[in-house]
Structure 1
């Protein structure tokens, strides 16, 4: 009676609804009836203690929790007394605690009972903390997952030892002990278990063999099948003490019809040969939860290529779209609207959204290979695949739905995600979720589900609805392509205004009837058949459809075995239109795409394709890309650099051919790209050398710079330009590195230079980074690969030829030590600013110009062939460069600003500012230089040599020749 009064007083002081209070009073009485006097006193005291409200809310919202306390009165007492009821548990504490709890179990039955009591104890703790919001949703699911991990490993260890005494120890053919590997799938794999989750498992073992040392020898597979059966029983079989976790093995290879356990080799072979898209989807969250950690890591690494394709996997669209349709049909067929997991706007839809991006893009973007759903959603925002608002809504909805799921399951510890219909259960759910009543909760739930459903409906939606006329055109093209007679195709192409319909028809027939197409798998051939009508329709927008088709066909041929790229273009009509536009404009771009189809990804987003970041943005983007790669994986780093360079050069070319980027910016960006790449290359090379040999000094400086000459030095890089580089260091010759394998400074920097060249020029799957020319270093090819600063200075003072000082005009440091870079700049200015014998200088410069023209122009000169060579013909680019270099060497000692810049445009401007040439002459040379370089870029993108008709650009050529005669010949 006294205890009943205490309950009444406590309930009156609480916000527990009366509909829940009725059940709570009865439950309280049952609890006390099961308690001894000591336990009764403890509960009575707790009822009036500081956490009275927590207990009443936990009991009211979870009759299941109250039932466990009734069956095991000591559970709550020990949790409260040792403080774990209010403290988070470290992940590493679960297994030792469970081992201690099961230490004295001698039989499988005793072990199973102790395992169940341990589970109930922590279920009570987790529900108490969840209902009272003492733990976040993330902590709740992590605790449940840690509990499962510990229980699985304990069951594996216990039964492995018992089975070894019967059958001996399983060993591989080379005698290596073998252990069962347990792969946790789904929510367990992602550490996202709910309060009543099944655990989806796959059993495997590293290597085949047989047992050794037992009464009889059996195969490893037989051993592990028996072990797996015992583990399942230990976890899943209901006893008087209940169960631990329900175990579902249906995700294993071949499902229920397959063996319970197969070797890792057989597992890998199954996925490689027979794995389906839904199995890829399932393996996204897979994690080895028990067994040898090293063997498990190796297995998961071997399975990763099956889950995550190396390229953008747009082929998954069809399967994902079918999965999505199945989800929607299932909701309607089964009437799942009250199911917060499977119903519209439920948990499954949030998971599907995240995992779609993982399947499609995870192969290239390792950040998307994480298992946790919230981690993936945040990364999708960072990568700008989902807008901030969408991610915010999905994250909030997911947390709300998972908390709701836990509250539903906490009610009676039942495996359900169904919204309750009974008044008591509804009141308990609303209270657990922090709402005054069911109506308020339901309103908020509906808001979240509508947001999820909206984002889900937009996901992998079919390409935008096409007009009936467009669909008719595609059907027409398909019918024509299926027609065996070429005449019908040619007529259709003529009607579509292809400029050379006969040639276009011939190209198409050669492609579609070629051996490569005939050897295609049926599914791949179907994709090609779907793609070609869309391509032909898109080609109608080209200026020269037949030319564009000619340029696109090599790309199609390159992807016949990787038709996911065709799906990419079909799924993204804008990307297909941009492909046609760019290939119509430039054979160079089309060749780049055919050689590297992975670049098609760059066509997806017009914003990034045609809007280039400044140098800081380029550097940041590369840094972000490289952060995804293990620091020690040089091969992956080299591939990342090559993709980065290819992608950004493609963006520059796309911007130029579409007119959105002026000439000066084209060279600027191509130069910036090279500089950013060189910075990264130096970092990689330096890291590799210091890891191997240690550091040369303790001051943190590198004492090394990369000096760029020529077009890179002059900030005038073109699409096909190589890099003229010189390496310089300023380290004491007697310095020795401090690593385990020390080397002297000369050896260190020589190897550093060699490593830089290797990273730049090694041919990988994506080609090389840049061609490198080191001939401008002191003494050319016969000189040291890396010069000391002192030797470089002495060479410039005493041995350098005039042409080498000319080259120094366009020299600048592009990567390396800032202190040494400043020294180099001072030396360059000092060398360029020396007084010189001007007549001798002029004669040498003119003589070098004549030699160069005679060597580089065709026999008889370009003019003999009615052509103007943009670089070497009189009045061309090199004439301007030589005039500029002569002016700097002749006058910089009196006019220091001439030695400040390395690019011709700003030097010409300085010549005018210093009063050395008139504004009109300076502008004439600048205009001519820009015009010539613009033509050179255009010809490069058209894959033509740098020559024009002899009548081209007459005003610019005349101005250059007039000024050459005035400056370089009048005094000669």
Structure 2
């Protein structure tokens, strides 16, 4: 397709004579192309000058612009050092000329223009570095390197930052570079010589690219984005740079590295370095502190450049002024910093790519993203026209009407229409940006003296010891106190919030989270005033608030299989074993918190919450067992035989946990007669699986930086606490058939494989079914259970009238009754409700047991969520009382006590009849 056929627009010649003179040299071009040439030259003396110098080349290149541009960029790699100065400048002016004409005619998109300029910069820097390093090697200034090392610049890399890194360079951009070298390529004794050489290379490179000669310049080069530029050399080692970012790196530097790209020299070394900075740039938790940091930076830029005040088009800076390009970039990069640690899809270098990713991930509304995308394109095109006029590094709109007339002609429109569009665009961008960085603080306020007796002690808490935390909290506090006063019992809510604040180890991140997401203020007040145990949990694990902001906090429950897949993906992304264990803890806590909040707010019932907690535990075990196994196998070889399965016992096996449940587990392995593993440190099969089991328990229960996953109880394994921690599959069935006690068969009624290889899991389930069938006719089952009930009653007495777990006819007793019914009948069902409903007892007895089980579970699940233990009504706040009554369907606590006593008596009577047979 010809250039003319691809044209979608054309500039108007502001200086008709200048434009006509330029167009006359291209009389063979199609009329449409001549019009574009005339308009370009008639608006831009710079382009007119380039046409005079490179007209012959342009005639050959214009109908195949992409091919011609790429050829110019590709030939740079072959320039010898002696030809770099002139060769690079010729390439730059040719690319600038052809790009300018293509841009003005609409033949290339904005992205095509900026990417080509970025490719040109990469090629120029790469060729210059490699030729200069080659010269240093030839002079013997880089100890240990040969001329062959010049192909990778001797381990030196140039990171392209800012617009260059994102492929967004404009016509007169500086190129922002950070130059580093890989110190591991040199002996320690040669380190200082190598650094000195790379510093010389960097300075010479900057001079070759930046110096203005008779042939112009290539790119102005800015090296000030490197670590601490006032005291560090222009090229420093990767190890020194990494130490700097780990210790004193700032938010603006994190934002800069969003666009960082290894662009020239030793690309592989540069990419390795960027990978080490991932934890620095992308925080593992939502990072709302970045909003204030970015806002402060915006204000400093405005003050430094004198760009405050209302928008005035004459002389307005399209890059740094209000509503300008930088505001769109700040908006995008700040939101990327907030959530990019959790969502790798947000780690885009390009501004438009970033906006699209934020929308797709639910962090921006589509209309906001669409508006900023459209305005960004407009702003960048205006910026390009301003720079094309005289190849000037400017972003300022004209100061005169004549200047606007020229700019409007350059853009193929009228001055009036251009001014209207610009004002609308700038104001829209500023409104969106200001609404994000500096939202209105108006809203309800608390009575001035409310809670002073409590709030007076807050400054002494760890969360409020830093000046920055206090500053942010003072902005959040009015809304928080107002929400507290709207609680049913404000003073109770305040005291509960006080407990939450007292346990926070630090406050900046949490308070920033509240400030950026006002809906969390009401949520924390709801939790604090209703569920002290959940508030206490939050005080220790405030990062779980991330889940609320993540976008799908109130979506439907995904189920165990989807949870396991999600966690597995998270674990695979972690760099090492310890990081995987911490990742599992963060992930589990967010989902655990979600279940609790859903239960608290009535989005799920106690029964549904119990199933979800069990799904969560199953997902954790299913995803974590292979991780533990792989880590263990690295030392001791692959697991002998078919591997091991984890059998969930008790409530986990029955598929119903509460907020504070531990996990009852049994590990069963099948070594298939293999004597030992075959790794570097082999272990006998029995020892292998015993230690693997201990490793799994440690992975689940060890306190780490992110806390622990679950407490684990293995006392239900064969032979109880005296038996081996892992049971051989070959031994499992004989033991159950010949040696196990009644209590072990009862436990087996609720057993369920929750992790491990499918084939072994199926075999274990078949054994379970055979054992239950074989033991169903046991003559001593009922008398053994009666003895167990008597021992339990003697050892554990109810803690009060609201104890839903302990006591005859209460939860523990009903679950034991269900297990008895299942064992007597040989039924393989695990859930108490199913064990009762599928038994042969009378329907009225079934109804009494089910009614008691339902009420007791509602009370137990609620008590564990609210208080982390047995329900103590004397300490319940008003919100908690309402929650308990809502969950149990009772009008008052007295009525609840009476109802619990009544259903328990009925259930106990049924149990007595069952035990008598």
TM-score with structure 2 length normalisation?
0.81
> Does 1:669 pair with 2:612?
yes
C-alpha displacement at 1:237, in angstroms? Answer: 0.7
The answer to whether the 8 Å contact 1:753/1:785 transfers is yes
Q: Is the 8 A contact 1:524 1:560 kept in 2?
A: no
Look up the match of 1:964: 911
Aligned to 1:459: 436
Structure 1 residue 931 displacement after superposition:
1.4
Deviations 1:262-294 (A, max 9, x none): 666665666677665544444443344345456
How far does the alpha carbon of each residue in 1:130-172 deviate from its partner, in whole angstroms, 9 at most, with x for none?
Answer: 5565655434333322221221232223334445667833799
Mark the CA change 1:815 to 1:261 in structure 2 (over 3 Å): closer, same or farther: closer
CA distance in 2, matches of 1:15, 1:883: 83
Cα offsets for 1:587-613 (capped at 9, x unmatched)? 2112211212222434558x855x353
Tell me what 2:577 maps to: 634
Is structure 2 residue 810 aligned with structure 1 residue 881? no
| Partner residue of 2:770 out of 830, 836, 839 | 830
**CA distance in 2: counterparts of 1:729 and 1:267, whole angstroms:** 49
Q: 1:274 to 1:803 in 2, by over 3 A?
A: closer
Among residues 122, 125, 129, which one is paired with 1:152 in the alignment? 125
Cα distance change on mapping 1:729 and 1:192 into 2, 3 Å = farther
> Is 2:475 the counterpart of 1:552?
no
Q: Following the alignment from structure 1 to structure 2, what is the Cα–Cα distance between the partners of residues 208 and 788?
A: 50
Alignment pair present for 1:904 and 2:832: yes
What does the per-residue CA deviation read over 1:739-774, in whole Å, with 9 as the maximum and x for residues that have no partner? 999999878766654543343223211211112223
Deviation at residue 526 of structure 1 after TM alignment: 4.1
- Taking the aligned partners of 1:869 and 1:213, their CA distance within structure 2 comes to 73
1:44-63, aligned counterparts within 5 Å?
A: 44=28, 47=29, 57=36, 60-61=39-40
- Of the three residues 372, 382, 394, the one matched with 2:350 is 372
Indicate whether 1:381 and 2:328 are aligned. no
Q: How does 1:260-271 map to 2 (within 5 A)?
A: 260=234
Q: Does 1:117 align with 2:90?
A: yes
Indicate the structure whose relative CO is greater, using CA pairs within 8 Å and at least 6 residues apart: 2
SS at match of 1:118: helix
* Structure 1 counterpart SS, 2:437: coil
> Following TM superposition, by how much is the alpha carbon of 1:966 offset from its aligned partner in structure 2, in angstroms?
1.4
Check conservation: 1:463, 1:571, Cα contact below 8 A: no
Residues 1:351 and 2:329 aligned together: yes
> Is the alpha carbon distance of 1:617 and 1:68 closer, same or farther for their aligned partners in structure 2, counting shifts above 3 Å?
farther
Written as runs of structure 1 = structure 2, the 5 A alignment for 1:497-516 is: 505=453, 508-512=455-459
Matches within 5 A, 1:832-911: 832-834=772-774, 836-854=776-794, 856-857=795-796, 861-862=797-798, 869-892=803-826, 898-899=827-828, 901-911=829-839
The separation in 2 between residues aligned to 1:842 and 1:617, in whole angstroms, is 36
How does 1:224-373 map onto structure 2 within 5 Å? 224-252=198-226, 260=234, 277-293=251-267, 296-297=270-271, 299-300=273-274, 307-325=281-299, 330=307, 332=309, 335-336=312-313, 340-342=318-320, 344-373=322-351
- Maintained 8 Å contact 1:625/1:640: no
Question: Gaps (5+ residues) in structure 2?
Answer: 146-152, 874-896
Aligned equivalent of 2:66 = 85
Question: Which whole-Å CA distance do the structure 1 matches of 2:226 and 2:704 have between them?
Answer: 37
2 CA distance for matches of 1:517 and 1:76?
Answer: 65
What is the CA-CA distance between 1:849 and the residue it aligns to?
Answer: 2.8
Contact 2:160 2:178 in 1 (8 A): yes
> CA-to-partner distance for each residue in 1:639-687, whole Å, 9 max, x for gaps?
2221122122222222333334321112011112112222221342355
CA contact (8 A) 2:560 2:616 kept: no
Q: Which residue of 2 aligns with 1:584?
A: 529
* Aligned counterparts, 1:22-41, within 5 A: 23=18, 25-29=20-24, 31=25
> Which structure 1 segments of 5+ residues have no match?
1-9, 33-42, 431-435, 478-491, 494-503, 893-897
Residue 928 of structure 1 and its aligned partner are, at CA, apart by: 0.6
The answer on whether the counterparts of 1:155 and 1:231 sit within 8 Å (CA) in structure 2 is yes
Secondary structure of 2:734's aligned partner: helix
Alignment match of 1:720 (pick from 650, 660, 680): 660
Q: In the alignment, what sits opposite 1:71?
A: 53
User: How far does residue 180 in structure 1 lie from its aligned partner after superposition?
Assistant: 5.1
1:968 is displaced (CA, Å) by 0.9
The answer to whether the 8 Å contact 1:336/1:343 transfers is: no
Q: 1:826 to 1:398 in 2, by over 3 A?
A: farther
Query: C-alpha distance in 2, partners of 1:116/1:748?
Result: 68
Partners in 2 of 1:754 and 1:54 — Cα distance?
A: 77
Alignment of 1:510-529 (within 5 A): 510-512=457-459, 520-527=465-472
Q: Is the 8 A contact 1:615 1:672 kept in 2?
A: no
Alpha-carbon distance between aligned partners in 1 of 2:352 and 2:687, rounded to the nearest angstrom? 50
* Equivalent position to 1:931, from 845, 849, 855: 855
1:460/1:938 CA distance change after superposition, 3 Å: same
**Aligned equivalents of 1:59 and 1:702: distance in 2?**
79
Give the superposition deviation at 1:243.
1.1
Cα distance per residue 1:781-805 (max 9 Å; x no partner): 5555554544433333333322222
Residue in structure 1 matched with residue 627 of structure 2 by the alignment: 684
How does the TM-score come out when normalised to structure 1?
0.77
Equivalent position of 2:887 in the other structure: none
User: Alpha carbons of 1:575 and 1:796: their partners in 2 closer, same or farther (altered >3 Å)?
Assistant: same
1:542-582 deviation per Cα after TM superposition (whole angstroms, max 9, x unaligned):
44545444443454344464423223334444322321221
Partner of residue 743 from structure 2, selected from 794, 799, 803: 803
Whether 2:859 is the aligned partner of 1:943: answer no
Q: Is 2:69–2:95's contact at 8 Å kept on the other side of the alignment?
A: no
Q: Whole-Å Cα distance in 2 between the matches of residues 458 and 141 of structure 1?
A: 29
The 3 A distance-change label for structure 1 pair 534 and 15 is closer
* Contact 2:126-2:264 within 8 A present in 1 as well: yes
Q: 1:272 to 1:711 in 2, by over 3 A?
A: closer
Contact 1:729 1:788 in 2 (8 A): yes
CA distance, structure 2, for counterparts of residue 439 and residue 308 of structure 1? 45
**CA 1:945–1:952: 2 relative to 1, 3 Å:** farther
Provide the rounded CA distance (Å) in 1 between the counterparts of 2:479 and 2:345. 33
Query: 1:955 deviation in Å?
Result: 0.5
| Corresponding residue to 1:190 among 157, 160, 166 | 166
Q: Does the CA-based 8 Å contact 1:548-1:583 persist in structure 2?
A: yes
Equivalent-residue separation in structure 2 for 1:621 and 1:446 (angstroms): 51
Report the CA distance between 1:958 and its aligned residue.
0.7
SS in structure 1 of the partner of residue 263 of structure 2? strand
Per the alignment, residue 843 of structure 2 pairs with 919
1:181 offset after TM fit, Å?
4.8
Post-superposition CA distance 1:484-521 (Å, at most 9, x none) = xxxxxxxx54xxxxxxxxxx82x54554357x689x34
**Quick one: distance in 1 between partners of 2:844 and 2:8?**
91
Q: Identify which of 901, 905, 909 aligns with 1:954.
A: 901
| CA RMSD in angstroms, aligned pairs only | 4.6
Name the structure 1 match of 2:149.
Answer: none
| Contact 2:606-2:862 at 8 Å conserved across structures | no
Counterpart of 1:168 in 2: which secondary structure?
coil
Alpha carbons 1:534, 1:570 under 8 Å: kept:
no
Q: 1:934 to 1:187 in 2, by over 3 A?
A: same
Distance 2:381 2:643 in 1: 58
Whole-angstrom distance in 1 between the partners of 2:95 and 2:687: 62
Contact 1:702 1:816 in 2 (8 A): no
* In 2: Cα distance, 1:309 partner to 1:14 partner: 44
What are the equivalent positions in structure 2 for 1:106-185 lying under 5 Å apart? 106=82, 110-124=83-97, 126-127=99-100, 130=103, 135-162=108-135, 168-169=141-142, 181-185=157-161
